[in-house]
Amino acid sequence: MSVGVTQFKFEMEKEFARIESKDLMNLKQSIALQALAGVTLIMPVKSGRARGNTIVSVKSPDATFTDDTDKNGEATKAKGSATINADNDPYAVVYVQNNLPYIERLEGGHSSEQAPLGMFGVTFARLQVQFT
């Protein structure tokens, strides 16, 4: 599912240019927290490994993955939220990502019963509608 991430980024940059730094920081954190929650909540769950590998980083992507599992998503959201809330640069990019070798298959709808449309694309499309 193509969500026009480049267009979304462009529209967000235009909006950010009009907002003061404090307000920008609050908006950025709100969007990042919603992205994390959205992806985590619709992530297919079998062992919980996919949820446990949804990670957040700031300024640069994190290419790691682990054997961590998180069936209900609470630990993943707590860890990611802590990273988002510790960020104090309104212009730094926040990455919500998952690097498991099979995540592209899940994003492509491999889990047809739990997430037939994927997780990231669906979440970003919802955010695009909400914030543009």
Residue 42: both structure tokens together: 């619709």
The count of structural domains within the chain is: 1
**Rg (alpha carbons) of the chain, rounded to whole number:** 15
Strand partners, 94: 58
Positive or negative: CA dihedral 124, 3, 72, 69: negative
CA distance 94 to 31: 10
| pTM of the predicted structure, to 2 decimals | 0.82
pLDDT at residue 19, as a whole number: 67
Domain enclosing residue 87, as ranges: 5-131
Instruction: Give pLDDT tens digits for 34-69.
Output: 999 999 999 999 999 999 999 999 999 999 999 999
Q: What's the pLDDT band for 1 if we cut at 50, 70, 90? A: very low
